[in-house]
Amino acid sequence: MFDKKSKANPFALSLLAAGIALASHSASAQTASCEYIVNDDWGSGAVATIRLTNTGSSTINGWDVSWGYDNNTISNLWNANLSGNNPYSASNLTWNSAIAPGQSVEFGMQVNSSGTAEVPDISGDICDDSADNGNGNGNGNGNGNGNGNGNGNGNGNGNGDNGNGNGEPTAGVFRVDESGNVTKNGDVMPVQCGSWFGLEGRHEPENDPDNPGGAPMELFVGNMWWANDGQGTGRTIQQTMDEIKDLGINVVRLPISPQTLDPNDPQSSGDGILKNHESVRQDNARQAMEDFIVQAAENDIQVIIGIHSCSNYLGWRAGRLDATPPYADTERVGYEFFRDGYACGYDGVGPDVVVHEYNEELWLNDLREIAQLQHDLDVDNILGIDIFNEPWDYTWDQWKGMVERAYEAINEVNQDTLIVVQGIGSTLSDDTHVPHGDTAYNPNWGENFYSFGENPIDIPRDRLVISPHTYGPSVFVQNHFLDPSQSECEGLEGNAAGEAGCNVVLNTATLRAGWDQHFGYLAGQGYAILIGEFGGNADWPLETPQAQQDLWSHQAPGTDLQWQEMLVDYMVENDMQGCYWSINPESTDTWGLYNHAYEPETNEGGWGTWLDFDERKADLLRTLWGENQ
């Protein structure tokens, strides 16, 4: 309106600017249609939605609306802050405060009624008085997905995650029963699960010609662009879903990172970044995640969505939301993808470190966004949210508080999903010891629930899934895996044990004592226990980078498979379920349920080409699921 370099009277200009601002505010105050929609009405109660649609030309930042009933009362409300008592008011949460032009924000509620679900007028500074309210109670021409057009007043769009044409709920309601079983819509559902990774980010080598040192987020599909001279393998996500369903898998754990939620992240799309064949390549990681969830729902496969790291560049090593270098794999033999140039926090990092800032506020907002997916995608298969992967760099008190705040954030948005919680570790990054029972039995990252017994997580038991991670020697050689007759190996683990020529000699009683102390003692107490990651390289120490093979060349192959068999026997006896890591075979230390054409040093061009199931692992899962009796 005026030249900011003008030397005119600054006081007059400030008055002019204030007048313009006031006029602009007045002109844009009536910028949204505010609709009250009855989604489902069963006589004594109803589910309703208030939808705020920005009809103006500028973004609405913050909103507050009010309404009242003659006879109805609110019993529960989600996705907004509620105040008042008929009349009621609702205001935005942090994550849904902004409404872009043409976009909508919705919040929902359950009301008690006396035979009639009322449709009140909605008022507020942003509300356009001409907006109509609608009755979309699902008694009209609804389709099977609950998107039915109601026969009521106004526009009547039920938009229904809560109702179909017969007034029946379609959203999957997941709970844990008194025996610790996961249920869906009241029916016990065995959790026969595998992890399918890639969307959380992979690590490209520094010599990659197109994306050196990158961390692209792309679901592995077994169909890379270079396979068969550029023709691809023809494998699709649907083929894999068919095959894993035939095996018995009904749940997929899907790891993501915060960047996966951003469709515009530079590691999310583009030639030279994504490596899948163009016939199965997605537009971006966010779209790939959403499409996968919808496709899984169509195949009656449930999903657990997990935040696997604070950054796609850091991966599994992070251990905390604001992780900083140096990281735990600095001395890892044969490992190439050190990420000391990246961090999720600023504390103590140098000027050359790239910081992908993450903190509790951002994390809780991401959890809310994930919780909203069931509504946004109109699916019924989001069994749980695995809130953060292997938080080994927290004490139990710290992690417990974070879990309880995560539950509150998720529950603001979605009361139908479960909260999947991993354990902690044994030692913090500053070498602080964390209690985990007898120190002879060291837990894996994510395995330690020892302190839960005296200081349990304070969230409803019917929403909580205890989800420890535990692995055998192909991931890390713990001291209690070693032959106790080798006195020279006392206190050694990992690389040091290999260099000393220590033998891995697994003892069932020793392994069970550790599992009992770390998480097994909770079995039979009414908690759902789902081992969130287990698995391993059945041929270890073969089929590993050459440096690892050299380190453990004295060890006979097959020890890790023996460890897996011992764990599965323990799980069966204690009625535990689990998510096998992993369905896809691109994990260097565990490989996967599918065999892989890739072999280190001999067939590196086979990377990303999947073969048939490894029948040893498939048979292990059949045993876990009670099919080998």
DSSP single-letter state for residue 556: P
Q: Annotated catalytic residue: which of 533, 543, 565, 586?
A: 533
One-letter amino acid at 502 equals C
CB neighbours of 85 closer than 8 A, spacing ≥ 6?
none
**What whole-number distance in Å separates Cα of residue 345 and Cα of residue 325?**
9
163 close to 47: Cβ distance less than 8 angstroms: yes
Q: Annotated catalytic residue: which of 200, 218, 390, 543?
A: 390
Cβ atoms within 10 A of the Cβ of 583, count? Answer: 26
What residue has token string 């990377």? 607
What residue has token string 């959403």? 290
| Residues paired with residue 41 on neighbouring β-strands, in sequence order | 46
Angle at 411 between CA 410 and CA 412, to 5 degrees: 90
SS3 368: helix
CB neighbours of 626 closer than 8 A, spacing ≥ 6?
572
533 is catalytic: yes
Three-class DSSP labels, 496-507: HHHHCCCCECCC
CB neighbours of 585 closer than 8 A, spacing ≥ 6?
591, 592, 593, 594, 595, 596, 598, 610
CB neighbours of 331 closer than 8 A, spacing ≥ 6?
495
Burial class (CB within 10 angstroms; exposed 0-12, middle 13-18, buried 19+) of 468: buried
CB neighbours of 209 closer than 8 A, spacing ≥ 6?
272
H/E element, 371? helix 360-377
SS3 514: helix
**What whole-number distance in Å separates Cα of residue 553 and Cα of residue 334?**
14
Nearest alpha carbon to residue 177 among 462, 367, 391: 462
C-alpha gyration radius of the chain: 27
Q: C-alpha dihedral over 375, 378, 383, 385, to 10 degrees?
A: -40
447 is catalytic: no
What residue has token string 């050196």? 212
DSSP single-letter state for residue 30: S
- What separation, in Å, do the N-terminal and C-terminal C-alpha atoms of the chain show? 80
* Chain Cα centroid distance, residue 281: 22
Residues tagged active-site: 390, 533
